[in-house]
Structure 1
Amino acid sequence: MIERREQGTGSRVAIEVWADLGCPWCYVAKHRLEAAISQRPDADRFEIVMRSFQLDPTAPQGLEKNETSFVRSHPGSTADDLRRAERQMQAIANKEGLRYTVDRWNANTFDLHRVVQYAGDQGRGFAFFSAVQDGFFAGVLNPFDPDALVEVAESVGLDGRRVRDIVAGDEYADRVRADRQEAVELGSTGVPFVVFDRRVGAPGAQKVAAYDQLLEQVAGPAPSERAS
């Protein structure tokens, strides 16, 4: 259940986003949410907090083709089923100005989520995850390569050596698992799952207009102009 509490006028609003790297709808939803926030004059009131949710904890550590991953995790489905769905997602993403390659590789995302937890402690969780996911769907980044993660981490202001140590160890493992469990307890059956100020939960990829309404619900109408 979502805990309901009063939101003071003008106060900070935390928006928690549960997502996984290879989830296409998470990719689209993330950008729609950012668009809804950015069009408000008080956009700086909102803090997006990245939370972990592994869709396929049993995925192998080694790379596997997108088609192989889909068929393995969706019994009864075929590679053709995935290709049709991917072309549809590509059209949706491209229409919204997002790069989207259908030729992707997948692997277990647990280590990535552990780095996201560290990045969150540094106030860079969403920035880090967003940069990794954007590069992944654009087809220009292998997020399962520790060197690539280090490079992205440093680009958003994180300590690359710290990231390399985390990937090599098992830090933050309990927190990754706890995040997923918390999402389930809040009512999530999958991702994307967005919780606004612990007052309203929004499952699935909502339209920009819907996110805008949710922002207004928890933070009030957008002011007519940005305060100086």
Structure 2
Amino acid sequence: MADSILSETSQHVVIEVWTDLGCPWCYVGKHRLREAIADRPDSDRFVLRLRSFELNPGAPKTPETIESAFIRSHGGDAQIVVQAERRIQALAQSEGLAFSVDRLNANTFDFHRVFQYAQEQGVGVEFFSLVQDRFFAGELNPFAPDALAAAGAEVGLSEGRVREVLAGDEYAADVRADIEEGQRLGVRGVPFAVFDRRLAASGAQSVDGYARALAQTVTDASAGAA
């Protein structure tokens, strides 16, 4: 459901999405939002900005299977997460999205630091989307520095610079700033989309749900400009 968030009027409609790399609903929601934008005649009016958020900041840096991560965090029967993965796999595939259930799980903070570097270079959305799409397709291990550096090069980043960022702690403050700002806006889970600082939508909406949010935001922006 959309919640009111005050904003100043702007010519472009900025859509900010707090998101995490390994979140299946973030992956599905991103594609639904892009479809909703592409379906509008004024699609070039919308500017998508991704913002960092960690769903599981306590996850280890060493990659583990999704089942192992579930047992470590929750205990019990790993079949619960396996069944959930199969359900979202079927849903994603019905929407034309590749979805591997054999993905690895690990701490995403270092990925977010590289993403912040990509943001600085003007290719944040392209970098994030490329890595996430290939990760869910089972084609890329985002926890391997060489793979992440190669992905960065595909969107115009320096491979050497990506490795430098991964080897240090640069952009950590930027990641934390995104997370803290999201929490101030009410983000408790992702995806969390904020439309022009006017409306917020928590969770992966349907294409129609995102379309309604876009239409409402444009209406509110026009009313504010009048």
> Would you call these one fold, judging by a TM-score over 0.5?
yes
Q: Which residue of 1 aligns with 2:43?
A: 43
Q: Which residue of 2 aligns with 1:70?
A: 70
Instruction: Please show how residues 1-228 of structure 1 align to structure 2 within 5 Å.
Output: 3-8=5-10, 11-73=11-73, 75-220=74-219
Residue deviations 1:52-77 (CA, integer Å, cap 9, x gap): 1011111111111110112222x244
Identity value in percent: 56
Opposite residue 6 of structure 2, the aligned amino acid is R
User: In structure 2, what is the Cα distance between the partners aligned to 1:6 and 1:14?
Assistant: 11
Contact 2:65 2:104 in 1 (8 A): yes
User: In structure 2, what is the Cα distance between the partners aligned to 1:160 and 1:220?
Assistant: 43
> How far 1:98 sits from its partner (Å)?
0.2
* Residues 1:2 and 1:119: Cα distance change in structure 2 (over 3 Å): farther
* Residues 1:152 and 1:2: Cα distance change in structure 2 (over 3 Å): farther
* Residues 1:16 and 1:77: Cα distance change in structure 2 (over 3 Å): farther
User: In structure 2, what is the Cα distance between the partners aligned to 1:77 and 1:53?
Assistant: 27
Opposite residue 55 of structure 1, the aligned amino acid is L
Secondary structure class of the residue paired with 1:57 = coil
Residue deviations 1:140-188 (CA, integer Å, cap 9, x gap): 0000111111111111122222211111110111111121121111011
User: In structure 2, what is the Cα distance between the partners aligned to 1:39 and 1:145?
Assistant: 36
User: In structure 2, what is the Cα distance between the partners aligned to 1:71 and 1:190?
Assistant: 21
Over the aligned positions, Cα root-mean-square deviation in angstroms equals 1.6
Gap regions ≥5 residues in structure 2: 221-226
| Number of corresponding residues | 218
Residue deviations 1:73-114 (CA, integer Å, cap 9, x gap): 2x2442100111001000110000000011111111110000
Secondary structure class of the residue paired with 1:49 = strand
Contact 2:5 2:200 in 1 (8 A): no
Q: Which residue of 1 aligns with 2:223?
A: none
Secondary structure class of the residue paired with 1:87 = helix
Q: Which residue of 2 aligns with 1:224?
A: none
Gap regions ≥5 residues in structure 1: 222-228
Contact 1:49 1:120 in 2 (8 A): no
> How far 1:212 sits from its partner (Å)?
0.7
